[in-house]
Structures are given as structure tokens and as C-alpha cells.
A and B are shown apart, each in its own frame.
Chain A
């Protein structure tokens, strides 16, 4: 059957051949000449890394079973199609949290592994793959391999951050983290310059599990200002009722593309900055409000209209990082394209496990841009050069456009990695950067 399986950026909506994997005991579909396979989780990758236009998409959302949870070892075994949202709604009331969460809870465990996603606590806990102990990988030769740091270790490290190319992840063992409360103790503070951001980040790393900053990338003269956020899980008497606000608003499809433009972006960013009082503001928030503000509007990506949008996320090494981020922001300012939403975070020194993982020590910057065609694509090409010169990388999970040369510069280890790619698996992204 054909169906529309799109990625989050909506820039490459593609009709694809789809096959549902209904049970974890199901075999992979029979291989047909020239048709490759790719698992599709919940479509939260922004570009084409979750799409397989010329092949078969394996819909894995029926793989949504938990298998076992052992509170003594903290290990949750679950199928790869389980959403982080499902883990949280089930385990927060029981006093557990996922060790690493991205900015949306609507990602599958399989997707979190395949992209080795990171969160606001990278400086404390590294990325998602650091908390994966074991995974079952179904290969096109009919075998299902249980991979870990000691069993099929190469394949294990290739699968973490391996963009779904090493086979179908069927289930995984992940370590949950005990919490006292579903609420967060949050402190926010305005900063005016990048320097202030780095100072705040440095001084907060020790005492705060989560740090992140929203950055104003819309207001030319104020580039570098923003709001810094740091938080811990609330401690003390258990209050685990912090149940997720699962019912969000939905936006209709087909919204006009002009809703997000330079003027609205600037207005929104200026307002957001100025609404925050000076100095630190302390508040208690539910985990949903703190981690997933955008999840409240189910399809916020539709705000960008039919043409969709891009996110550009890069990481540059610590050394010279300050200057490189400044250069990137200057380049964006010069382009005259306003980013409605930008996020800045310092990655800590915990090394990612994955062969192809994106997170590494340094500074990461993520910026959303409406799909304004050539002007924004040209800007990205210039940013790629800056990032490559700095020895950094661009995040494949967010990418819809980087070229082969830059991909190789960002991920030189790809020549080793490609030996672990299952011969029957491929993706639109993979063909684009390797083809």
C-alpha cells in the first residue's frame, strides 16, 4: 500500500510504499529487486533520514510493547516503536524518567537510538545511546542479533546513531533514571551576549541536570541575546502526579506559508526576550511544560505552510567555539533571514557511543528557518563551510540538504560505518550523501 509518510520539516512529502511490522516476531518483508528497506518510527526527523522514497518504508508503530521492567537494575526492555511519551506517562507516576530526552516526547525508542538523540542534560549524561545496554537488530539475511558492548559490539556501536541503516531495531534495553517528582525546579535568566551565555552555562553545569538557552536569531543587532534555562527534577516528598498534558491542540494542514516571516519572527523573539524580567526567575513546572512546550501544539510544523521548514543544527568544538558561533550568527544576520526559533547548548565531555553519533564535546546551535528556497539553502552552504573549517558537524536527523563533500568532512568515519550498513537497507538521506 502507498501512503504519505512525511518527515517533520515537511519539505520532502513523499508517497512511499509501506509495510507494517505488526509484531516483533514478524519477519522482514521479502526482498524485491531494487527495493530497499527503512524503518519509520514517528516521523520526527526533520529531513530525509527517515524517508525511503524509492524503497519500502517499514511502519514500526505497532511495535509499541513494553517487554520487561526491573526496578532493581533500572532496565526497561521495550520494542523499538514505543514512544518516549508512552514511557513517561507510564513510568513518571512510578518514579522513573528517561535518562535523556530530546525536545519532543513523540519520538520512538528506535528513532532515539538510530539518531543517538541528545537532550538538555548532555553535560551530565551524554546522549541516548549512552543508556542503551542491548538491542535486537533484525538483518535482511533473516537473522536477529542481540547486540551490546560485548556481543556484536561493532554492530552495536554502528547502530547507535546509525540512522536506521544497519537493520531493523526490534527492541532495546534502556536504563531509566529514578526521580522523586514529576515536577521540575526551573530557573531562567536573560543574557545579552554570548559571553554571558558561556559564563552561565559553565557555572550551572555542576549543579544543574539540565541547561539550555533560547537564542534570539531574528533581531540583527541583538544576535547573541537570549534566555538561559537550568533545571533539576524536584526532590523531597514524592509528588509523582505530574501527569503529562497529553491532549494538545492540533493545527489543520494547508495553513498559509506567510504566518512565519521575518516580521513575525522578529516580533515573537523580541517579545519573548522582553517579557522575561531581569535577573533569575524561579518556578516549579511540570516535566511536560519544561521539556516539551512545543508538543502542546501537535502539528506545529504546519505553521510553516505547505513549503515546510528547515532546521540547521551544528556542533563546533569547544576550542574556538565561541568565535565560530559568533561567525555563524554574523552570517545569519548578514543573510537577512530571521530564524523564528534558535537553541544553544554546551555539550559536555561524555563521548557518544555511536560510530556515527552527532553529539560531541562542544557547542551546539539549532536554528529553524522557513523554506524560503535558494536564499536559505545558500545560507546553509555557507554555514556548512564555517562548521567544516571549525572541525564540527551538522546533525543528519535535522538535515534535508547537505552535500556529499560536507557530509564526509563532518563524518569521516563513514568509510568504516558503511561496512555495517545492511545491504538491503537504505534511506533517501543515505542515497543523497553517499550516492
Chain B
């Protein structure tokens, strides 16, 4: 029986990923803020053929609880084979710009809590000498932009942390994977106009499953974001700032105060 721990289990990407494992003999442990939503996900996975699904409504942002929640999961599952950290919130960039408090709150949700959980889970996997830790970061962490640099900073922090963690656990049998999705059509991004580059959570989930099988360390999803981000990262600063004028990039978020958390 495969034992899977998911944090932020009611986020669209986490749900789509979990569904891909239902055909196997699998035991899930789902963590998220809302019991109501976790129950919906639990029923869904059970009806799709999962062997066992437990839910644990806990807010992963309450750092003090993290040791407890990870221990509980490890105990119930009797060791974790695969852990996916998928919680997060698209920061309200405009609001963060005028509020240090909101900025810190966003960093807590998107970076600090993720790092705290990743540390605890990685140590468990290291002890076992096997298993996979997957964390959802974002292409937004690859270069800061006026339109979403608070969210981007948090994701960049997560990506760098994961890079180092993957290095540390190299040759231990544990695989550590950073997923960097591009634009994904989920409830978190409801307020955006969807264009050509947008993709569905199911596509990202397929990519995650493949990355796990191939033991990749960093994966851009869909694949073309690797090349888009290469170009964006290589762009000289004066050019970058002209291509993405501040008034333009700020527009997509200014009218809507996005406060939608991914899980």
C-alpha cells in the first residue's frame, strides 16, 4: 500500500494529483484548513477507488502545530512514501505594498509554513532512507515582477530551500522535487483573464506524477515554462522593465482584491 501525505489537499492541483493515484492501492492522509472541503475530497478519492483516506483539518500556517501534524500523519500512515505540499495563497500584491503586516502574512503562508513542513517531512524520509517530497513552488519565484513580487519572493525562497534540500538528500534514496507551474486555471486564479499560456490542473498533475516517477529535482509545468523563464531570467534589467511596464502588470490584480487561498 502506497502511503501519501498531502498538505493543502483541497487545492485544485493537489486534488488532481491525488486522483491519479486512486487506481493504485493507496492510503491518503489529507491536511487542510477546512474540514468541510477535506470531507468532499475524501469522499471523492474513496469513490475513485482509494483504499483509505484520513483527513486532518489543521491550518498549516500555524507553525507551532506542524511538528504535531507531521507526527500524526507519520504514525497513522506508518511511514510516508510520498508527501505533497500544495497549500498557498495568491497574495494581494497591491494590499501588500502598503502593509508590511500583509506582506509578512503572505510570506508566512507561502514560504515559512512550507519550509517548516518540508524540514519535518524531509527528516522523516531521510530516516526511512526512501520516499519522495514534492513541493509546489511557482515560475513567479524565478524573477521578481512589480505585479506579484511578494508572492514571487515567497516562492523563490521555497525554490532555493528545496534546491538545497535536494542537494543535502542526494544519494540518500529520498527524492526531493520542486514543481514550478506556470498559469493554472484554478479557483486561486479565478480573477484572471485566461489566455493561450493557461493550463488545467489535470495537466499539471500528470506532470507531477511523471516527475515523481522519473525522480526529477525541478520541473516546470507545462514544459515550455522552462524556456519562457530562461528568456525572462536572461533579459537585461532595462529591457525587462520596458517589456513589462509597471502600470500594465499591476492591472490584472488591482481591481480584484484576491484573497483566495489555494486550499
Contact = CB atoms under 8 A, between A and B. Distances in A.
A78 interface: yes
Interface stretch (B94-102, B185-193, B231-239): B185-193
Nearest to B10: A23
B36 interface: yes
Contacts of A62: 12, 187
B117 to A, nearest CB: 24
Given A23-B40, A65-B41, A3 B47 contact: no
Nearest to B43: A67
A93 B40 CA distance: 23
A62 B37 CA distance: 12
Interface in B36-53: 36-37, 40-41, 43-44, 46-49
Interface residues of B, number: 19
Contact of B190 (A1, A25, A69): A1
B23 A93 contact: yes
Contacts of A67: 43-44, 47
A22 interface: yes
Contacts of B190: 1, 20, 22
Interface in B1-33: 12, 22-23
B40 A90 contact: no
Given A3-B193, A90-B48, A66 B187 contact: no
Contacts of B187: 20, 22, 62
A24 B40 CA distance: 9
A3 B194 contact: yes
A68 interface: yes
A401 interface: no
A382 B113 CA distance: 67
Nearest to B40: A65
Nearest to A90: B48
A219 to B, nearest CB: 40
A93 B23 CA distance: 9
A69 B193 contact: no
A220 interface: no
A408 interface: no
B49 A68 contact: no
A93 B12 CA distance: 25
Contacts of B47: 66-69, 76-78
A282 to B, nearest CB: 32
A94 B49 contact: yes
Contacts of A22: 187, 190
A66 B40 contact: no
B193 A66 contact: no
B43 A65 contact: yes
A23 B49 contact: no
Given A93-B23, A94-B49, A65 B44 contact: yes
Contacts of A3: 193-194
A69 B187 CA distance: 26
Interface in B175-210: 187, 190-191, 193-194
Closest CB pairs A-B (n = 3): A66-B47, A65-B44, A22-B187
Interface of A: 1, 3, 20, 22-25, 62, 65-69, 76-78, 90, 93-94
18 contacts: A1-B190, A1-B191, A1-B193, A1-B256, A3-B194, A22-B187, A23-B40, A24-B40, A25-B40, A62-B12, A62-B187, A65-B40, A66-B48, A67-B43, A68-B43, A68-B46, A90-B22, A94-B49
Given A1-B190, A25-B36, 4 more contacts: A1-B193, A22-B190, A24-B40, A66-B43
